[in-house]
């Protein structure tokens, strides 16, 4: 580090994304991205006039995009905040509402950015252990007076809480914020977005990087009360009013309107996921019940770290966490049927070699 680094970041451990190697062509199932293209409406939206107009700044209020999201989720544009991916939206939640005096909590096994943001912004964070079956201990969040951040469905486990449990947490203390990160909600789950009218202490965050196949466009949004969104926009305009490009806004607006294509893509992922799970279980794998576009697997004789390395040697990238409680598991994103057939073929070969 340089001698100019702010001392508060001296012990910071940044988030480590899934690897993006360029040494060969890989089947990339390590970052919960999408292997299919975005809606055809996105391509139509990225027109020549749009490109020729890029010499001008985009609308900093992103109103067309916010209106499109609001229409789909049955809220008003004033209840929608948009950002450069859901990571930035979560960052604005921290920056806007959590200070050094704030106290927050989240699970011990969840999206790693929550701890990174807590460290970055100097927020007092407490982790609550998942139960032995990796489910969330709802009672712990009901009892605490800390602000709450939950990924639902959770990552990397893939498990999901019913909306009724989220409501229990919201009702328990209306003087603390509850942030629900719904990056994977579209894969057969119910969103908490309809609850924002009833609970002014709720923020729902979603992304375009998963079900809408736009990870490279960097688009995310939050739905909350008008007052919360107004606060977040004030901080955004104090930091970076132009946080989304004209191209990204056009792509996002087109994608969110094409609900039929979203449903088609989700159905295919769920179908491919269930086929993959069924086949891996027949090969002796234990797999947590997934409500997402990935699966979390382990095998009694194939160590997860070895499985990860052998898949990589065969051109397949997955995500291995060498951490307490989950080092026996490997996370595998669900790709196209053809990609998952290759995963299964290579897996059978690996198992034959270790038998």
Pairing of strands 220-223, 286-287: unpaired
Position 12 scores a pLDDT of 84
Phi, psi of 177 (to 5 degrees): -80, 145
Task: Determine the pLDDT at residue 4.
Answer: 82
CA distance 19 to 78: 37
Gap between the Cα atoms of 87 and 317, Å rounded: 22
Respond yes or no on whether the N-terminal peptide bond of residue 3 is cis (omega within 30° of 0).
Answer: no
CATH topology of domain 7-37+260-354: 3.90.1150
- Chain centroid offset of residue 81 CA: 16
104/144 Cα distance (integer angstroms): 9
**Can you state the angle between helices 85-97 and 113-120, rounded to 10 degrees?**
40
Number of other CB atoms surrounding residue 144 within 10 Å? 18
What pLDDT is attached to residue 217? 95
pLDDT 10s digit of each residue in the chain, 355 long?
788 888 888 888 888 887 888 877 899 999 999 999 999 999 999 988 888 888 999 999 999 999 999 999 999 999 999 999 999 999 999 999 998 889 999 999 999 999 999 999 999 999 999 999 999 999 999 999 999 999 999 999 999 999 999 999 999 999 999 999 999 999 999 999 999 999 999 999 999 999 999 999 999 999 999 999 999 999 999 999 999 999 999 999 999 999 999 999 999 999 999 999 999 999 999 999 999 999 999 999 999 999 999 999 999 999 999 999 999 999 999 999 999 999 999 999 999 988 7
pLDDT for position 3: 82
Residue from 173, 122, 184 nearest 150 by CA: 184
Q: What is the pLDDT of residue 293?
A: 98
For the structural domain made of 40-258, what CATH number should be given?
3.40.640.10
What is the pTM (predicted TM-score) of this model?
0.95
pLDDT at 37: 95
- Whole-number Å distance between alpha carbons of 28 and 304: 17
pLDDT of residue 291: 98
Task: Please answer whether residues 336 and 293 qualify as being in contact, where contact means their C-beta atoms are separated by less than 8 angstroms.
Answer: no
Main-chain phi, psi angles of 304, to 5 degrees:
-60, -40
Taking the C-alpha atoms of residue 235 and residue 78, their distance in angstroms, rounded to an integer, is 15
Q: What pLDDT is recorded for position 289?
A: 97
- The whole-number pLDDT of residue 17 equals 82
List the domain boundaries for the chain: 7-37+260-354, 40-258
pLDDT at 23: 79
């Amino acid at each position: 580090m340089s001698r100019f680094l702010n001392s508060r970041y001296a012990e910071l451990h940044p988030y480590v994304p899934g690897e993006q190697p360029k040494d060969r062509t890989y089947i990339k199932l390590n970052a919960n991205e999408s292997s299919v293209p975005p809606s055809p409406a996105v391509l139509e939206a990225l027109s020549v006039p749009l490109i020729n107009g890029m010499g001008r700044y985009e609308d900093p209020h992103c109103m067309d995009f916010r209106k499109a999201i609001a229409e789909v989720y049955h809220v008003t544009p004033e209840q929608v905040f948009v950002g450069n991916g859901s990571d930035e939206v979560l960052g604005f939640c921290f920056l806007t509402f959590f200070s050094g005096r704030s106290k927050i909590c989240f699970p011990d096994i969840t999206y790693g950015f929550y701890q990174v943001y807590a460290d970055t912004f100097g927020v007092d964070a407490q982790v609550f252990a998942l139960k032995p079956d990796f489910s969330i201990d709802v009672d712990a969040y009901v009892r605490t007076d800390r602000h709450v951040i939950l990924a639902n469905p959770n990552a990397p486990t893939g498990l999901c809480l019913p909306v009724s449990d989220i409501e229990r947490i919201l009702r328990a203390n209306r003087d603390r914020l509850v942030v629900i990160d719904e990056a994977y909600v579209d894969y057969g789950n119910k969103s908490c977005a309809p609850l924002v009218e009833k609970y002014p202490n709720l923020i729902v965050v979603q992304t375009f990087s998963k079900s809408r196949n736009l990870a490279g466009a960097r688009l995310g949004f939050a739905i909350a009360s008008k007052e919360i969104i107004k606060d977040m926009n004030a901080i955004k305009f104090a930091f970076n009013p132009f946080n989304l490009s004209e191209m990204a806004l056009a792509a996002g607006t087109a994608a969110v309107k094409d609900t039929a294509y979203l449903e088609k893509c989700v159905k295919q992922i769920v179908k491919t996921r269930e086929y993959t799970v069924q086949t891996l279980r027949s090969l002796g794998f234990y797999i947590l019940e997934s409500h997402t576009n990935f699966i979390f697997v382990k095998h009694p004789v194939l160590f997860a770290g070895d499985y990860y390395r052998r898949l990589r040697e065969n051109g397949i990238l997955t995500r291995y966490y060498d951490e307490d409680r989950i080092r026996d598991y490997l996370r595998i994103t669900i790709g196209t049927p053809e990609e998952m057939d290759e995963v299964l073929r290579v897996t059978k070969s690996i198992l034959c070699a270790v038998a």
